[in-house]
Structure 1
Amino acid sequence: MEFENTVTRPIPDYTLLKMEVTQQSKSCDIKVKSGKWEKLYHSCVLAKSPFFEHMMCSKFRESSTGTVELSVGTPATIDQTLMFLYGEEPKLTLKNIESFVELAEFLMLKNLKSFCMKWLRGVSVEQLTDDSCMSLLQLSTVYNITVPYLIKYIDAHLMSLIHNPQLISLDKPSVEYILFGKRLGYVPVDEKLKYFERWCQCHMDTISLQWVKEIVQKFNLHDVSKNILEDLVQRPPFDGLDCLKDALMNYSDSGSNMHKVLLMPDGVVKNCFWGLDLQQKHWYRIDPSYLTGKYMSTTVLSLKKAGLRTSSEMYFVNFRKIRDGGKRSSISCLNFVTGESNMYRVVLEFKPPCCDIKHFTMAGDLCFACININDDSRSLVYAGHVGRKSIHLSQLFSLRKGKIYKMCVNELSELAIIPNSKDYVLLYNFTELSLTKKNIRISFV
């Protein structure tokens, strides 16, 4: 008789056993309890869990009484977890996923955890809320699992999430990402420091003064409000940091602590600029060769396409002509305090052919760009974040009537758009994903 070399295991049919569980038949010989809830199952089936197998083969009290009480999960998730051993798939939601993962870990069910991970990979940004985001964040921290769209949601909603009490439970690496993540530059430094102070108060036993000092020194303390500094120097562990005391002592009471920079063309050397830091009363000469170096062969810098990225960093939009007649865009940033410069390549996803960036604006690591379609009165608005070497922008929305005249963004991730008609302004809140229209009247003198 011929036979195959591969061994095929028969798939067990639990139909009869599941029916007995439903009827709570006498053949169900093990009772599982959770609070007042209890239900009978088959020990031969539950033994597929290493937890139950070890318990049944040991001299624990449960092996003699036939009753097991679980302290994790809810009655609904416990029942679905145990029925998973009978071949039934649990019904996962954002509200119960944490309970299922905890049960999978507790009962040592690798297949159930894999099932949960596969489901989490299919969760989209649109399905997440602040509460579910916090639950998944805690879940990913405790059990070292990855939720693909979780970071993307946090990047766009940190302004509201940063006040959530559950954010205090994060570990050190997650806290450092919240404070210094490149995509989170739109959150004011005051809010980040207040969050860090709350986090430190809850983790005093696990942190050192040296680590807190290293974290605080990464902030640009010139951008911190005076009342925040005054509050921090009175609270442990910040009361022992000289850098905070020095920042408070050198704080200027002349108004805002932001850097105001006056830009003007050189007048002699083409494409060179002079920048005057009005706070520090210091001049900076901005040379295009310093900004672009060897990366650009032909560069055009326009004063209309320059602005402030942060209180002490300025950006320029650079263009280089390419063979097909179009232009390749990049962003050059110059920090007035450190003297460092960086260049980022701009990548537009799904960019129409023969269309170039008309407007560009950025605040921190949040960037917006606009393209006006030449063959119709339509504008495309793109959004993205500064990456390591490039800025990838995805289409956010389009304006079907009226091209864009001006656009700018503030540190609160609010984008203002004025069309060519100049009779209204569109306000887009990137954090809340909301778009409002306000009619205006502009007078030109």
Structure 2
Amino acid sequence: GEDVLRSHKCITKPTLTLLEFVNEGLNWQGTCQDTVDFFESVVLSLRVMDQIPVVFLIDQCNAFCEVQSSASCCSRIADMFLNWNNFRMVRGGIFYAFSSSFRIMPAAKDGNHCLILQLRPMDKSSFGSLLEEQVTSGQLSKDFTPFLDDLYAHCAGLPRELLTFSTVFREHPDYDFKDLQHEHLLERVDVYRNRISTLLMKKTLGKELACESVTFACRLLMGEKMSKVPPIWVEAGMVVRTDRFYHLICKAAELALYQTFNDDTMLTALSIFQDDPSVRWRALELAFIYVFRTSMISGNSVVFTCTNLCGVGEKQFFVGIHSIHRSESPPQPRSIERGTLVVCRRNQALIDFFIYATDGSKIMVQVSESSYTEHRSKWGSARESVLAEFDRAVRPGSRAAVKYVYVTTSKCLMRNNLLSRSQYFDPEVLLVSNAKGAASKFFRGLIG
């Protein structure tokens, strides 16, 4: 190993052709330290050359840079390439950085041309070709091309996701396709959870950037379509843009977002919304969705503790879901499966959420800071039209129970007296209020 290293101390020595030099590197048997020494000697030798017919392909080059400044991360390899503009060459050296994240290193140029390339997700045809190559090369001993549509959606067209899927298959060759998907998802969630955590850290990002990043994450969590995105989310390789809107890169990233948004992060997010009067009302909507998101992860049902509008007759019921759908514009979803929470469109009369629970029950939910008496919409006035609209979307013949739940942080109740009850008293309305702390408990203390 030392003889080979010594013979390559300077690339200007006519010891090897370029192809032989590359192959020598592929067969290198030295230690990690030897390899870095060897690589540095080659790169430094380029300082004295004007032109070189070579292309550098650097994987995960962003690992060499600090998150905020593109400064060197105390890495010898980082120092080598961050000094690239000090080299004498003017043409010929091409530096490609292949990475799922995309922080441009300003020193990585050929003359005046930046040559860092961000890899985009593959289209289905290219992804299918890569899948075939995995079978041909023996990385996959089973032909998964019959599952191409599902696998493409699962991996979001990302080569690295297919490669890690292949690894999971080799570890569990007896698993069926669904089990492999599940196992792969669990493995990849940790990777994306770590990335998202760094995007939400106030300590490393600073107050202003952290606020922007957390707000963006909140809106993703609520299922909104985002036409703008904080640059750090693009640089971290967490989002892609399709049809004018940004979304998380893959299913593992989506699950990671739900898991990363713990109670502490949610408190920060809610404080951002509550401090802005123009969007203060959205804090309740965010908290409500968060309660159901976390229940989806844990597999536990959400508990509603309700009374009538006078605070009498406490009862509980449990609601389970496995998916959340946001309806942005009319009409509402044409088909709603059991276990679905629908976030209603902005101009939907009367309700904010419709739940077609796993047990088949249909639950209409309104959330508000106001008491039921003060709220502008009342259940009785629009009951039939709202039910009719959603009944068309659930499975035909559904005769399960229908509930209307009014969730409020207000402590105000109607008087429990037949003579003094408000004209708005409706025995069908189930109330979750803060008169006895039920709303605060429902929201897990995030909003009280």
Q: TM-score w.r.t. structure 1 length?
A: 0.28
Of Structure 1 and Structure 2, the greater helix share is in 2
Of Structure 1 and Structure 2, the greater strand share is in 1
